[in-house]
Amino acid sequence: MTKRIANIVVGLGKTGFSCVRYLAARGIDFMVVDSRQEPPYLAQLQQQFPAVEVQLGGLDAALLSNAERLIMSPGLALDQPAIQQAIASGTHIGSDIDLFCEAVSAPIVAITGSNAKSTVTTLVGLMAEQAGKAVGVGGNLGTPVLELLADGEKELYVLELSSFQLELTEKLNAEVATILNVSPDHMDRYDSFTAYMEAKRRVFNGCAQVVVNSDEDLLPAPAGKVKLWHYSIEDIAKNDSDFGLAEQAGESWLMQGEQPLMAVSEVKIKGLHNTSNALAALTLGAAVGLPLEPMLQTLREFAGLAHRCQWVANKNGVDYYNDSKGTNVGATVAALNGLGPASKGIVLIAGGDGKGADFDDLQQPVWLYCSHLVLLGKDAQRLEDLLAEEVPVSRVTTMAGAVEVAAYVVAQQEHRGDVVLLSPACASLDMFANFEARGDAFVQAVGAL
């Protein structure tokens, strides 16, 4: 009988290579497979770990079925026949998150959602640093989780987790977990919106505390002995531990229960959606015992992440915002609802690959807040068919052209708009290498005006 392989790392991208380094450093038996002939980290693997066996150019069902455990990269869907056959044969499916959680004893803050994950994760990490904590921040945001172990264990870990990561993860057991929001995304990967939501809900597996966004109609928090915290931008906090908003001396304030914390005007990241993000970060920080003052100081200082409703420039009285990370409908709705109430009119640049999503939820905020649409990319026609009834539309083929048209349109409007917003509601890969490249192209074009 053939000896079963202990571990197979499936996928040699950024996450897969972090698994390679982790397993090799601990002397754990493994090999690597990838469906691509030239995966991104092949050269690094061959240079640093020449003895590791690698199989490229396809997934061998018999090989995978002979493994005790597959350590999957999140970009690989589980419905591939070779992987399904391995699961049926009894092979265990795991992830880098599982390896990480097996290795650490420090508390974990686990953050997921369709939008704002990176902003809230970064905020909580900075709040912990401001409070003097040794903190590791990573996951779907930048640093693979296993690389957070390179300098020894931290006092606290703050992890951004995608649905792709969560569907592979069994042993999270976070100290506190949250689903910030859920809107249709990755419908090219999931059979239904329900399946996508269920993947997100795995963030609660084994957690001790849950932070609930009371403004979202989400799946219920897990039952049992789990402490619940709440935050809301719509309702005044009902309990002393809840975070919300209230009017104080004629302006809106962040509150914990009945305690005023700071004026919303002091929060450096702007827009109602970012006020919600600030409350989410405060609630998560409070759940793991971070003191209030360093958290509030972080909100005064944090200017936001690139490509996430990032203010770029003011040209002739018009503010230009780069929200290239708005890769789904929910993100663009949040950006419009966040910037729209204070705007005289938004010229929205949108379009790209909609990933099979329904765009219907764009209608209300677009018709309410947008004075003009500039559309490009694969699904520009779908967006025009849905939205052009109430808002004028221009079609372009390049980002430079989109910015030029937006600048011209806003200058010609009788009731002049004051915001040009790139928030595509679509993925970027039909035209760009990634959302960062798309945002960079927007910033460059604005700079050239």
Q: Catalytic residues, which ones? A: 117, 140, 186
> CA 56, CA 51: separation in Å to the nearest integer?
15
Question: b vs e for 430-443, b when ≥16 Cβ sit within 10 Å of the residue's Cβ?
Answer: ebbeebebbbbbbb
Instruction: Give the start-end residues of each E strand in 113-198.
Output: 135-139, 156-160, 176-179
> CA 334, CA 216: separation in Å to the nearest integer?
12
Are the C-beta atoms of residues 346 and 421 closer than 8 Å to each other?
Answer: yes
Are the C-beta atoms of residues 266 and 299 closer than 8 Å to each other?
Answer: yes
Q: How far is CA 182 from CA 117, 201, 204, 234, 319, in A?
A: 11, 10, 15, 17, 29
Output the CA angle 311-317-318, nearest 5 degrees. Answer: 45
The pair of structure tokens assigned to 364 is 């209300």
Are the C-beta atoms of residues 252 and 263 closer than 8 Å to each other?
Answer: yes
Helices within 40-80 (DSSP H only): 42-48, 61-65
The 10 Å Cβ neighbour count of residue 379 is 23
| Nearest C-alpha neighbor of 186 from the set 329, 60, 382, 5 | 329
> What residues does 228 pair with on adjacent strands?
210
Strands of the sheet containing 227-231, edge to edge, are 135-139, 156-160, 108-112, 176-179, 209-213, 227-231, 243-248, 251-256, 259-263
